[in-house]
Amino acid sequence: MQMRAAILNEFNTPFSIETVDIAPPQAGEVRVKVAAAGICHSDWHVVEGLSYFPLPIICGHEGAGVVESVGAGVSSLQPGDHVTLSFRANCGKCYYCQRDKPNLCEVYTPVLRSGLMADGSSRIHRDGEPVHIMTGLGCFAEYVVIPENAAVPIRKDVPLNVAALVGCAVSTGVGAAMYTADVRPGESVAVYGAGGVGLNIVMGAVLCGADPVIAIDTNSSKMEIAREFGASHTLYSDDSTVEKIQALTGGRGADHVFESVGLEALQETAFDATRPGGTLTLVGLTPVGSGTNLPGAIITRTEKVIRGSFYGSVLPQRDFPVFIDLYRSGKLRLDELVSGTYTLEQINEAYAKMLTGEVARGVIEF
Ligand code: CXF
Ligand code: ZN
C-alpha cells in the first residue's frame, strides 16, 4: 500500500512530504491509520542530528489513530479499535519488564534506536530502499505498522488529537508527578518550564494534591496559562527563582522540583530550589554527552534525591486509559493543550512555530 509521509532525508533540512510503500502487519503487529500526531521537541532533536537515528527517517512519536488491520496472532486489538501509540514498545519478559519498568525494556531499547523493527527490517520502503522510523513509531505518516503492544486501546468517545498527546506529553508530565516522584497531598512543588510537558507536570501535581504548585518560565505569556492549568503561583525565570521558591516554602525550598526543559543550567538551578531531603526530578531531555554539574558535597550533606523520569514511569497499557478517563471527567485539561493544528503538508510550518516557543502543543491532523 502507498501512503504519504514526512521524511527527513538529511539532518538540519526540512521534512519532505513523499509517497512511500508500507507493508501489511506481520505476526504480532498491527497497522494503524494515524489520525493525529503531536509536534514535540524530541523530533527536532532528530532533525538536528542530536538523537542518533539513522536516515532517511519518518519522525513522530506522539500519535493516535484507528487500527486498520492486524497480523497473525494479534489478540488484543481488532480493526476499528481506537489506539494511542506508545513510543516504548516492550517485550514484556525481560528483567525490566518483569519489574514494571517497560520504559527500560532491554530488548526494545536497541530496537527503538535502530529505526527498524525487532527483526532488523523495515515495513516502509521508498523505491525499494528501507525508510527508518523514530522510536518504533514514525507517525508523521498516514499509517504506521507497529508491535501490538505499542498500540494501546482506548475508549472511542475522546477526540484523537487529545488521545495523541497522551502518548508523549501527558504521560511524560503527569506520570512524572504521579508515578516517578509520587507527589503526596500537601507537598510543595516547583516546575521549571511551562511548555507541553511542564503544564502536564503542573496538572499531575495538582491531581496529587500538591500545594503550592509553582510554575517557572522565561516566557511571561505562559504565567497566566500555567495558572489556568492549576499552578498556584508563577515566577518569571530569572536569577531570583530559588529565593522566591524558598520564600514560598518556609525558607527551605520545595519538597519536589521538576525540570521539564532539558537545560543543564536549569537542572542546576532546580537542584538549588529543592529543599534538603527533597526530590529533584529530571524530566527534560538534555543532549546525550552533555554534563550537568550537581554537587556531590551538597547532595550528601542534604540528602537531596535526584531522580530521572523517562516516559513518566508509566505503564502504557494501564495508564493511557487512566489519563483519558481523567480527561473525560474534567480533571486533565487536554483540549486546552492543543494550541495549533496543521496538515501533514504544513509540518515544517508547525516546527517553525514550535521553535518560536509556542505555548503547549501543535498537532498534525490527518
Ligand atoms: C522521547 C524520548 C527519547 C526518544 C524520543 C522520544 N520522548 C519524548 O519526547
Ligand atoms: Zn515527545
Domain ranges of the chain: 2-153+336-365, 173-310
Is 61 marked active-site?
A: yes
pLDDT at 32: 98
Q: Write down the catalytic residue from 41, 59, 61, 139.
A: 61
The preferred substitution site among 50, 57, 87 for testing ligand 1, maximizing ligand atoms within 8 Å of CB, is 87
Quote the percentage of the chain above a pLDDT of 70. Answer: 100
pLDDT at 52: 86
Closest C-alpha among 212, 102, 85 to residue 143: 85
Of the ligands numbered here, which is closest to the C-alpha atom of 286? 1
pLDDT at 287: 86
Q: Write down the mean pLDDT value for the chain.
A: 97
Is 40 marked active-site?
A: yes
Where does ligand 1 bind, in terms of residues with CB under 6 Å?
Answer: 40, 42, 61, 87, 135, 168, 172, 285
| 173-310 has CATH 1.10.3720.10 classification | no
pLDDT digits (tens, 9 = 90+) for 241-298: 999 999 999 999 999 999 999 999 999 999 999 999 999 999 999 988 889 999 999 9
Strands 29-39 and 143-147: antiparallel
- The stretch 86-93 carries a mean pLDDT of 96
The β-bridge partners of 141 are 5
Contacts of 337 (CB under 8 A, 6+ apart): 162, 165, 169, 170, 196, 199, 200, 360, 361
Q: How close is the Cα of 43 to the center of ligand 2, in Å? A: 7
Peptide bond into 54 cis (omega under 30): no
Phi, then psi, of 260 in degrees rounded to 5: -110, 0
Q: How close is the Cα of 14 to the center of ligand 2, in Å? A: 19
Architecture of the CATH domain 2-153+336-365: Alpha-Beta Complex (3.90)
Confirm whether pTM is higher than 0.85. Answer: yes
The type of residue at 157 is: D
pLDDT at 92: 94
Count CA within 13 A, CB hemisphere, residue 183: 34
Over 80: is that where the pLDDT of 177 sits? yes
Residue nearest to atom 6 of ligand 1 (CA): 42
The preferred substitution site among 58, 61, 109 for testing ligand 1, maximizing ligand atoms within 8 Å of CB, is 61
pLDDT digits (tens, 9 = 90+) for 34-67: 999 999 999 999 999 988 899 999 999 999 999 9
pLDDT digits (tens, 9 = 90+) for 210-221: 999 999 999 988
Q: Write down the catalytic residue from 41, 45, 132, 256.
A: 45
Reading the block at residue 202, the C-alpha cell is: 503542573
